[in-house]
Every structure is written in C-alpha cells, then in structure tokens.
Structure 1
C-alpha cells in the first residue's frame, strides 16, 4: 500500500471522485496506483481555497483506476470552477473510500520538502516517514458521493453487470420514501394502431418493462395496439421522473384523453418532440435550483 498526496481547492462531504484537469494527468495517476493505495488531499495556499483549509491535510481517498467524468458526480460551486465554459477538472477516477482528518494538520507537520507542480496536477508519493507521521493523526471515514443514475447504468453496461433499477415492492413508509429516491424513467410511447396519432406519457422504474406490460395486455400480435417508446430519460430519483411526467401532461392538458388522462391525442410527433425538450430543460433547472 502506497500513500500519495495531491493539492486541492477544498474538501467536502460526501466525497466525490479524484479529479484532474487533463486526461494525461489522470493517466499518469492510473499508472502509479495499485489496489489499496491512498491519496491524501492537501489544501492549496491560494485564495481559491478557504482560509481554514489552506496548506492543511484535509482528507484521504482510496481511488481506483476506473476512469470517470467528474460532472457525473460533482456539482460545480460556481463560475470560478469553469474556464471558457469548460469545467476545470473534468477527468476523474472512481473512489472506493474516503476519510476526513478532523485535526487538519499542516502539510509542514509531516514533510519539510517543497512539492512541485506534480502535486497540484497529479499525485506524488510520500516517503515512509511522511506516511508514518500522517497516519498518526485521526482519520474519520466519510460517505461517498454517488454517481448519477445515467453513470451507474453506463458503468453497469461497461462491466457486463445487470443493474436492477426498480426497488422491491413495499408498503412500509420507509420503503416508499426509498422508492422516491430510486432512479426512474419518464417516457413517452407512441400507441400504434390507434384511430388517431396517440401517445402514452408516464414514468416507471423500467420503461421497457412497462412497455412489455402494456403490449402483453393489448396483444399487438393479434391485431391489438402496440406501445413503442419514442422518448425516455433516466432521472436520479422517481420524484424527478414524476415531475417530468406532470410537466408534459400539463403541457398537453387540452389533448388528454377523457378515458385515460395519461394518453394525449391530436398532437404531432414534432409537437411532442418540442414539448419533451422544453419540459426536460425545465425539470433539470428546477432540480438544480
């Protein structure tokens, strides 16, 4: 196990991935890191770091060599985190574990050497004596920042693992609250075979499974209606998926079917596309706000 350091602008919880400004610095770190290695985070002495964190060892990460994008996890603090519209540290490595150092010792308490630019852009290995001094301070484990639902799904596909999005059914209040926080889709499906162009709008933990349920009931193979997804988006929580559904249904209030208010008629595909894009942006902005 090796302990490295890197310079950062701050440390907060829950703890996100290990971030880099350039893909090259991330690749350098990937070449150095081995399973079990750790990286200590040291606050820079510049104005960008809060005064109480400057020059201090703030925490420790246990990163992997799994490359990810920072914005799949972190929420930028403001315009200072961007240059010409681009996030300053877009490249990252997945993190397995994190600790804060409640005493926040000064870097000078564990080392008397001057660290070069490598420590600001990448990771630098500590000597055995520096590591011994650092490990003598208190470490407190902290929760990790979870990736977005889209990132979890992408990584599951990359590694060939199945991802069960929908939580198990429950009638307990705690279970219901958990379901609201679980990832879910908003969807719009075209109803093929209807007398006029019609779309079913809704939300579900698994939109493909929902389409299969509709088609099983309508039996398109025997001449019934067929439900074909035309739009879908995976949100981080079921609450957001529901809010997006309601925005769409409100938008098409005059076109909702009297027998099923989640079906809209008299709407063209182009109108649906435009409404979806508008409601999607509003839902995103509402979530960030």
Structure 2
C-alpha cells in the first residue's frame, strides 16, 4: 500500500510539472531511503515569500515518486534571475523525477484544516525534507479534487532516455484510481556491438538502434559461427532513448562523426576506433540533443 508524505514548496507544481526538488543531496537521499516507488508526496505552499499569498498554507500538488535521481539544471524550468535567492533551479538542484503529478483543484485545500494539528517539529522538518503522515491523517488529502499534469522532461536525449527506461520498468506496476498510467511499450536503445576474436581483441564495432540489442547481437552471431571461427559480436554499450526516431537520429550522428572509419561494405560498421571513443561520442551526442 502506498504511503503518504508532505513537504513545503514555493508554489504549484506547474504544467508541465517540475520534478520533486530538494535543496541538498542529503535531503534527496533521505527521501529515497524512506520512500518506495509509487508513494505520494503532497506539496504545501510555504507561509512566506516567494509563495504567492493565494497559495500559502494550501495543498498545491501531489507527486507520485520514482527513485530516478535528476538535477533541475538538466530541465528547461522557469528561472528567477531578478531575485536569485528565489530561483528554484539554483536553490533546489537535487530532484526525483516523478511517475505522475497532479495539481490540486479543490477550493477547500487549506492544509491545517485537512490534517488537523501537527507538531512544530513536523512543520520544521517539512521545510527541507518529506515527512510521512499516518493513514488516518492522510485520508482527507487523498480525497482532494485534482487534475493530472505531465511531468517536464529533461532537455537532453540522455535524460529523456533515462525517463523512458524508468517508465518502461514501472509499467504496469502503478496503475489505479490515484496513480499514473503507463502503457506497455518498448524502449529504443542506441547500441554498440564489438566484434572480438578468441583473444578478446576488438576487430570492429557496429553502431545501431533497436529495442532489443542483445537479439541484434545474436542475429549477427548466427552466420558468424563463433564456435568455429572464434569471432563473436557482443553488446559493448546500450543507451536508452526517448523514441525510435531519437535513437535513429543518434545512430546517424555517431556514424557521421566516425565517417572515415566506416566500412564501404557496411556503413554501420566501424574499424580502427577504440570502443571507448564510440561510447564517448554517443554520450556527447545525447547530452547535446
């Protein structure tokens, strides 16, 4: 059964929604320690600036959490350059990417009225951490009217790939009346296969994309007869992407960067390049797209 927590924030979750943010790495580590994937964190507006007067002390949003660690600087999030002390990206760089997010739309959303009296220590700790509520106290929060919004995605293909991979692993675990819905889908990977001889010397590298890189390696090994030739293709690297189109574009960008080393007989195979150089190229392309 999902547990319920709360924490204080500067405003509504946004649409698309921010990740669930923390001011310190220790606070995020604490959250991962006490949370299980699928738990709910209700966000409450602080009683001072920069929270708007209309949001102070009110239940503003609900995050259903995953354990995927992210950094707010990897997202295109609103910035407050005029008041750096109130810039959420700078002040709260550590985050967990959510499974699902809701904005609370109920007009009767004053936190203190819904949960009753809490200890001063609860409120103090919730300024920097997530605090668990017992099941009875959480009931009114779970009954609030709400509207689901989409989580903001990281701006790089590397980050979007991590989210896609996490979503695929969560499906269909967290389906229900008050949870996100993930459909079953394949995750597309950019991959690098290395062709090795019996001494593990790398003879060539194949760059491609697939939702099952291991099967691609097996398909190439079939006609190779490794038990006779001593040659075998193995998966050296596979990196999740956000879509088939993204995987194809990354594959083509990597091949283009190593064009002079591609075989004339098969443009997806590269010779004379260290596999680590290919891995570095894939990382560079994904972090800049």
Q: Could you state the TM-score of these two structures normalised by the residue count of structure 1? A: 0.62
Cα separation, 2, equivalents of 1:187 and 1:153: 14
Q: Which whole-Å deviations, capped at 9, do the CAs of 1:10-33 have from their partners, x for residues lacking one?
A: 3134657654445467648966x8
Cα separation, 1, equivalents of 2:160 and 2:133: 33
Partner in structure 1 of residue 178 of structure 2:
none
Q: CA deviation at 1:211?
A: 0.7
Q: CA deviation at 1:9?
A: 2.7
Cα separation, 1, equivalents of 2:228 and 2:40: 61
Q: Which whole-Å deviations, capped at 9, do the CAs of 1:109-138 have from their partners, x for residues lacking one?
A: 837979642231234577999978767753
Q: Alpha carbons of 1:30 and 1:17: their partners in 2 closer, same or farther (altered >3 Å)?
A: farther
Q: CA deviation at 1:280?
A: 2.3
Unaligned segments of structure 2, at least 5 residues: 80-86, 154-158, 172-182
**Contact kept? 1:20, 1:26, Cα under 8 Å:** no
Residue pairs, 1:1-289, within 5 angstroms: 5-10=6-11, 11-13=13-15, 18-22=20-24, 23=26, 27=30, 39-49=41-51, 53-61=55-63, 67-71=67-71, 75=75, 77=77, 80-81=87-88, 88=92, 90=94, 92=96, 98-103=101-106, 107=110, 110=113, 116-123=123-130, 138-142=145-149, 150=162, 182-192=186-196, 197-223=203-229, 225-265=231-271, 267-269=272-274, 273-286=276-289
Helix, strand or coil at the partner of 1:183: coil
Q: Alpha carbons of 1:200 and 1:282: their partners in 2 closer, same or farther (altered >3 Å)?
A: closer
Q: CA deviation at 1:42?
A: 1.6
**Contact kept? 2:44, 2:111, Cα under 8 Å:** no
Cα separation, 2, equivalents of 1:128 and 1:252: 58
Cα separation, 1, equivalents of 2:269 and 2:246: 20
Q: Which whole-Å deviations, capped at 9, do the CAs of 1:216-248 have from their partners, x for residues lacking one?
A: 121121227421333332223332222221112
How many residue pairs end up in the alignment? Answer: 254
Partner in structure 2 of residue 170 of structure 1:
none
Moved more, 244-253 or 233-242: 233-242
Q: Alpha carbons of 1:260 and 1:224: their partners in 2 closer, same or farther (altered >3 Å)?
A: farther
Q: Could you state the TM-score of these two structures normalised by the residue count of structure 2? A: 0.62
Q: Alpha carbons of 1:51 and 1:218: their partners in 2 closer, same or farther (altered >3 Å)?
A: farther
Q: CA deviation at 1:148?
A: 5.8
CA RMSD of aligned residues (A): 4.9
Moved more, 220-229 or 142-151: 142-151
